[in-house]
Copies of this chain bind each other. A is one copy, B any other.
Amino acid sequence: MRRWNGWGDDGIDVALGVEAQDFLAERLGPGTAPQDASFDAACAALAPGRLPPHPLVDASAQTRLRHALGQSLPDWLRLRHGRVHAAPDGVGYPECSEQVRSLLAFAAVNGADVIPYGGGTSVAGHLGVMDAARPVLSIDMSRMRAMVSLDREAQLATFCAGVAGPDLEAQLRAHGYTLGHFPQSFEYSTLGGWVVTRSSGQQSLRYGRIEQLFAGGRVETPAGTLDIPTFPASSAGVDLREMVLGSEGRLGIVTHATVRISRLPQHESFHAVFFPDWERALNAVRELAQARLPLSMLRLSNAVETTTMLTLAGHAKLVRLLEGWLRLRGCGEGKCMLMIGVSGDRAQALPALHAALGLARRHRGVHVGRGLGERWRRNRFRNVYLRNAAWAHGYAIDTVETAVDWPRVTQAMEGIERAAANALHASGERVHAYTHLSHIYPQGASVYSTFVFRLSGDFEADMLRWRRLKDRVSEAIVAAGGTISHQHGVGVDHAPWLELEKGELGMKAMAALFRQFDPDGRMNPGKLLAP
Which residues of chain B are within 8 angstroms of A209 by Cβ–Cβ distance? 233
Shortest distance in angstroms between A248's beta carbon and chain B's nearest beta carbon?
A: 7
Could you tell me the distance between the alpha carbons of A211 and B236 in the complex, rounded to whole angstroms? 13
A403 in complex: contacting residue of B224, B228, B232, B487, CB < 8 Å: B232
- Whether, in the assembled complex, A496 has its beta carbon less than 8 Å from a beta carbon of chain B, the answer is no
Contact status B486-A234, CB under 8 Å: yes
A405-B230, A442-B260, A517-B509 are known contacts. Are A155 and B235 too (CB-CB below 8 A)? no
Q: Mark A315-355, 1 if CB is under 8 A from B, else 0.
A: 00000000000000000000000000000110110010001
Contact status B238-A200, CB under 8 Å: no
Could you tell me the distance between the alpha carbons of A506 and B446 in the complex, rounded to whole angstroms? 32
**Assembly stoichiometry (copies):** 2
Which of A44-52, A284-292, A369-377 contacts its partner? A284-292
Shortest distance in angstroms between A494's beta carbon and chain B's nearest beta carbon?
A: 7
Shortest distance in angstroms between A195's beta carbon and chain B's nearest beta carbon?
A: 11
Contact status A230-B503, CB under 8 Å: no
Could you tell me the distance between the alpha carbons of A221 and B503 in the complex, rounded to whole angstroms? 13
Shortest distance in angstroms between A300's beta carbon and chain B's nearest beta carbon?
A: 14
A226-B503, A260-B442, A443-B230 are known contacts. Are A246 and B237 too (CB-CB below 8 A)? yes
Contact status A235-B482, CB under 8 Å: no
Q: Which residue of B lies closest to A352 (CB)?
A: B348
Could you tell me the distance between the alpha carbons of A503 and B487 in the complex, rounded to whole angstroms? 30
Which range contains the number of A residues in contact with the other chain?
35 or more
| Beta-carbon contacts under 8 Å, A187-219 to B | 197-200, 209, 211, 215
Could you tell me the distance between the alpha carbons of A439 and B232 in the complex, rounded to whole angstroms? 9
- Whether, in the assembled complex, A483 has its beta carbon less than 8 Å from a beta carbon of chain B, the answer is yes
Contact status B233-A238, CB under 8 Å: no
A233 in complex: contacting residue of B231, B441, B498, CB < 8 Å: B441
Contact status B240-A246, CB under 8 Å: no
Which residues of chain B are within 8 angstroms of A443 by Cβ–Cβ distance? 154-156, 215, 230, 232, 260
Contact status B232-A488, CB under 8 Å: no
Could you tell me the distance between the alpha carbons of A404 and B208 in the complex, rounded to whole angstroms? 21
A154-B444, A286-B153, A443-B260 are known contacts. Are A236 and B405 too (CB-CB below 8 A)? no
Which residues of chain B are within 8 angstroms of A488 by Cβ–Cβ distance? 235
A235 in complex: contacting residue of B199, B236, B404, CB < 8 Å: B199
- Whether, in the assembled complex, A386 has its beta carbon less than 8 Å from a beta carbon of chain B, the answer is no
Shortest distance in angstroms between A246's beta carbon and chain B's nearest beta carbon?
A: 5
Q: Sort A-B residue pairs by CB-CB distance and give the 8 closest, nearest first.
A: A242-B242, A198-B235, A232-B444, A232-B441, A234-B483, A154-B405, A512-B516, A232-B443
Given contacts A223-B505, A224-B504, A236-B489, 15 further A-B contacts (CB under 8 A): A221-B505, A225-B505, A229-B483, A229-B501, A231-B405, A235-B483, A236-B490, A237-B247, A237-B248, A237-B498, A238-B509, A239-B242, A242-B242, A292-B294, A509-B516
